[in-house]
Structure 1
Amino acid sequence: MSYDVLVAGETLIDFLPARPGPLSDVEGFERRPGGAPANVAVALSRLEAPPLFWTRVGDDPFGRFLEDTLLAEGIPGRYLERDPAAKTTLAFVTHDEGGDRTFSFYRDDTADTRLEAGTIGDDALESVSWVHAGGVSLAGGSSQEATLDLLERAAERDCTVSFDPNARPELWPDAGTFREVCRAALERVDVCKATVGELEALGFDGATPEALARDALEASGPHTVLVTRGREGAVAVAGDGSPWPGVADHGGYEVDVVDTTGAGDAFVAGSIAALREGRGLEDALSFASGVAATATTDAGAMAALPTRAAVDAFLADRR
């Protein structure tokens, strides 16, 4: 089987709380597979576009569980690495009553921080047309250099390169370092998906999501910026150098939200799938928003990711 997309980054264990509330008050958790790039990879597979996925987990029970999960989701094992000297990252999730979440990471020199530059050969990059990575891999260890190297080499080979800063302040020593490193990544990127808060943290300015996106286009590398706004939908701005120039705005879909964990990753996968299929910016935004909305109607980041059939049915009901 041939693969046209390569996703790179962390796979980890999310511990989901038994009930909403602060971490100090939660007594029980449920183990779920997670990690933003892992969610994107699995979401693409469920959308009938399985990618190559470069990740690294510990050679421990959690790591073996994650590897088995990815393989069962149709992700090829070619770049699923086990680290014999490091543990798998753990993240404890807390929810408020509206389903919004915060994370507490256990990620000190864990396996996903130890990706090594050059692991993905030129032959692999020449066989794909799209490469995607996220900001957590930039937050420490050799994975920072490895991710920047991958993005740069992918850009040199005319791959479409996408990036999600996925800001997790607790993983960065300070806001300035986050801004500096992620801005360096954006210089190698064609498509950036971010929230309003993430674009502001990256130093971009604008009174509206569209204005923020335009400032990011003018000040950094991407030719397309997708801005997610939670329940209010998303906006996309693509410059003249984009294959799909223009502006699109989608107001989102009304759903009964159970858990927003992974919704942004679902949106990323939906946008990659749609744009690769040749859809226009407005259609791609509608489809990606549908994938994200469907993903919020069940618990867990990866477990709630919808199939192509589920998304098509969801959108059909709203036409």
Structure 2
Amino acid sequence: MDVVTVGESMVLFEPNENGLIQYTDHFKKRIGGAESNVAIGLSKLGHSVSWISRLGDDPFGRYIYSFIRGEGVDVSQVKFDSNANTGIYFKQTGGFNQTSIYYYRQQSAASFLNHNDMKEDVISKARFLHITGITPALSQSCYETVIHAIKIARKHNVKVVFDPNIRTKLWDSSDYIPILKVILKMADFFLPGEDELKLLFPNEAPDEIIAKVLKFGVSTIIVKNGAAGATYHTKSESQHVSGYPNEHVKDPVGAGDGFAAGFISGLIEDLSLSDSVKRGNLIGSMVTMVHGDCEGLPSRQEVLGFEKKTSDVHR
């Protein structure tokens, strides 16, 4: 197994046409979840990946399970819970050029993840464990589950990739800062956005933050900055890698997950850090060209075709 990831996926409802939800009568049904987005992205790039989660034993849970399995992701570690529902959320993209997310996930099946859901023989066989800051926000048991998974990974020299993916709607005030820093100190690769780094280390200069994080034991920090690209930092080097700005952005949600999938794919293939970040930038940009959180994640052939594109029409 190349990668194991842990987290909640939900059913996403989005208006058929751009506009405010309160005036919408018809919705499209999709799925969304940072960890499953990354899992799907990696699978479409040809890598083996296992997604661990809990779903409600309901039509929404079965829909998510079938969808993710259909994308080639191993879902053998997913459990169905007959006592809790699958989470849902709504995405509004047509309101005054802003994207708004409304969650209905409290007490969802995934919020009851626990350490018994983390099988040592599954995590130990992976090369990378992918973790986000969303899962520990769902409940105390989810936080403890994430820590348990990381401890298993470290015990077996499985590299930990941590994307803070800060969702302030899921946290009380700034409670996320000490919790996410605990996870950060256990990670090998740290993938914050530029704004997330400021949230985690308020009132500190960027250079001071980078130096502090490297002292924690993190081997590589990749600071993402949207279309401008990303900058990676290790103890021996720092380098900016240009992004792939495009004029066809249809849906910005999921770009960070696309970056993570591309970057981890590069690590799996033993590409240089620069080339791994470059692949992350490219896939992050491609994701924004398609509506939906995961529908724009490209196959390997689509990535190669995009890089070599000489025409907008493929015959």
Common fold, TM-score beyond 0.5? yes
Q: Which amino acid aligns with 2:66?
A: D
Looking at structure 1, the residues matched to 162 and 126 of structure 2 have their Cα atoms a distance apart, in angstroms, of 16
Aligned to 1:214: 210
Instruction: Tell me whether 58-67 or 85-94 shows the greater mean CA deviation.
Output: 85-94
Matches of 1:251 and 1:77 in 2, distance apart? 33
- Per the alignment, residue 117 of structure 2 pairs with 119
- Percent identity between the two aligned chains: 28
2:148 alignment partner in structure 1: 149
**Cα pair 1:213 1:225 within 8 Å, conserved:** no
In the other structure, the counterpart of 2:179 is: 181
Cα 1:229/1:100, change in 2 over 3 Å = farther
| SS of 1:127 mapped into structure 2 | coil
* Corresponding residue for residue 278 of structure 2: 286
CA contact (8 A) 1:186 1:221 kept: no
Cα separation, 1, equivalents of 2:98 and 2:300: 25
**C-alpha separation between the residues in 2 aligned to 1:17 and 1:220?**
44
The Cα shift of 1:117 comes to 0.7
1:72 maps to what in 2?
A: 70
Distance in 2 (CA, whole Å) between partners of 1:311 and 1:139 is: 33
Which residue of the partner structure matches residue 233 of structure 1?
229
TM-score normalized with structure 1 length: 0.90
The question of whether the paired residues in 1 share the 8 Å contact of 2:220 and 2:232 is answered with yes
Q: CA offset at residue 216 of structure 1? A: 5.2
* Residue 10 of structure 1: aligned partner: 8
User: 1:263 touches 1:295 (CA, 8 Å); kept in 2?
Assistant: yes
- Supply the distance in 1 between the matched residues of 2:205 and 2:25 (Cα, whole angstroms): 41
Name the stretch that deviates more: 6-15 or 213-222: 213-222
**Cα deviations by residue, 1:20-67 (Å, 9 ceiling, x for unpaired):** 455445443211111000100001000111301111111111000000
Q: Secondary structure at the match of 2:307?
A: helix
Higher mean alpha-carbon deviation, 27-36 vs 180-189, is at 27-36
In the alignment, which residue of structure 2 is the partner of 1:314? 306
Single out whichever of 115-124 and 90-99 deviates more from structure 2: 90-99
3-state secondary structure, aligned to 1:194: coil
For the residue of structure 1 that corresponds to 2:302, the secondary structure is helix
Query: Which segment drifts farther, 154-163 or 220-229?
Result: 220-229
Structure 1 residues 198 and 272: alpha-carbon distance in aligned structure 2, compared to 1, 3 A threshold: same
| 1:95 CA drift (Å) | 1.9
Is contact 1:204–1:212 with CA below 8 Å preserved after alignment?
no
Q: Which moved more, 1:262-271 or 1:91-100?
A: 91-100
Counterpart pick for 2:239 among 247, 252, 264: 247
What residue identity is the alignment partner of 2:245? Y
Q: Specify the code of the residue in structure 2 equivalent to 1:164.
A: D
Q: Give the CA deviation at 1:137.
A: 0.7
Amino acid at match of 2:287: A
Gaps of 5+ in 2: 311-315
Is the Cα contact below 8 Å between 2:162 and 2:191 reproduced in 1?
Answer: yes
Answer whether contact 1:196 1:212 (CA < 8 A) is retained: no
Q: Secondary structure at the match of 2:29?
A: strand
Q: Offset at 1:317?
A: 3.0
C-alpha separation in 2, matches of 1:98 and 1:79: 41
In 2: Cα distance, 1:293 partner to 1:160 partner: 26
Cα distance in 2 for residues equivalent to 1:236 and 1:213: 13
The corresponding residue for 2:54 is: 56
Check 1:54–1:12 CA distance in 2 against 1; reply closer, same or farther (3 A cut): same
1:216 touches 1:225 (CA, 8 Å); kept in 2?
no
Question: What is the distance in 2 between the residues matched to 1:89 and 1:215?
Answer: 38
Cα 1:27/1:190, change in 2 over 3 Å: same
Distance 1:22 1:221 in 2: 45
Provide the alpha-carbon RMSD of the alignment: 2.1
| Deviation per residue, 1:86-126 (Å, 9 max, x gap) | 11111111225797533111011101111111422322232
Q: Residues 152-190 of structure 1, C-alpha deviation per residue, up to 9 Å, x if partnerless?
A: 221222111011111111111111x11111111111111
Alignment of 1:73-92 (within 5 A): 73-92=71-90
Q: What is the letter of the counterpart of residue 173 of structure 2?
A: D
CA contact (8 A) 2:52 2:75 kept: no
What is the rounded CA distance, in whole Å, between the counterparts of 1:21 and 1:164 in structure 2?
Answer: 31
- Equivalent in the alignment of 1:271: 263
